[in-house]
Amino acid sequence: MLSRRSVRIKILQLLYSMDRDSALTIAQAKVKFQESIDQSFELFIYTVYNLYKITEISVSDEAKRKSKHLPGDYDKVFTAKIFNASGMSLILEDKAINKNMSKLGFLDTSNGDFYKQIYDDFSKTEEYKDYILNAEGGEQSHTEILLELFRFCRKSEYFEEVMEDRYANWIDEKSLIVGVVKKYLKGLKDKELDFKHHYPDDETTKEYGESLFNQVIDNDKQYMESIEAVIKNWDVERLAIVDTIILKMALCEMINFTSIPTKVTINEYVDISKVYSTDKSKEFVNGVLDKLMKDLTEEGKIKKEGRGLVE
């Protein structure tokens, strides 16, 4: 579920917290790292839960339309298939999922007005109307309308507000969650309901994430010396804290993670600097890392393994 970029950002935030709070120990930081992983997983589940509740409104919508004294043509053909036939209705029927959501407090959340508002707005779209009128639509049409609903939600300020109110990390992890939720929605046609196989794998969180964190901490002085050697004409004390951490992480990755191409590492950390550091950080980080890569390669300290990685 978690990408390396997501892990990089989590480690960056941890290292920054340790720099700002000298009382924060390495052990406590590692606990926070695990908590952040769990929270990412919870955010994924919460997003799916909100889609479940939004589509569930179609059931009362159908009942309301069928009870009309003079129902229109659209009312007569309307069904709650976005909920009943798409696979969404089955999610909370799974005891393990239901128990998980209950434990996280989602089932106690009172957001009825929110769900109804989003559903009512979406029900007015041409995409939803076409879906209702398409009696021949099969499993693929159910998947497509769920993905369309999710796109609609992401464009809604109301939806964004609710997500951010519940999880402050929604902004940072939105792109990650979007990818995982899309994959989950596509699996509903095959009755793939369980969330567990979307939990972040150890290869990404432990073999990469924890290793990156440990090595940056263990080699902090050495990395700083390498950075200082490259920025001789720059006042080190004026170096932005976030930029310093980004450079150390990138340096660590270039030296110790032999399966990650150096160009990928540089591009990733330059992109991260655009979001989490100053306006001028992009050029600075890119320049320093490019120089470090050349120097360390000449010194034989950067060695890549695997097909296409030997430069």
> Are the C-beta atoms of 49 and 167 separated by less than 8 Å?
no
Does residue 311 have a pLDDT over 80? Answer: no
- Length of the chain equals 311
User: How far apart are alpha carbons 239 and 77 in whole angstroms?
Assistant: 65
E strand map for the chain: none
CATH 1.10.3720.10 is the classification of domain 219-298 = no
Q: Nearest Cα to 255, choosing from 195, 301, 194?
A: 301
C-alpha distances in Å from residue 250, one per residue of 59, 206, 256, 263: 51, 18, 10, 11
- pLDDT given for residue 235 in this prediction: 63
- pLDDT given for residue 310 in this prediction: 44
- pLDDT given for residue 307 in this prediction: 52
Place of tokens 């700083």: 224
Is 139 or 11 the better-scoring residue by pLDDT?
11
Q: Nearest Cα to 15, choosing from 251, 230, 304, 264?
A: 251
The fraction of the chain above a pLDDT of 90, given in percent, is 83
Domain residue limits, the chain: 40-198, 219-298
- Could you tell me the pTM of the whole model? 0.89
Does residue 292 have a pLDDT over 80? Answer: yes
Amino acid at 176: L
- List, for residues 133-182, the tens digit of each pLDDT value: 998 878 899 999 999 999 999 999 999 999 999 999 999 899 999 999 99
Section 114-124 average pLDDT: 97
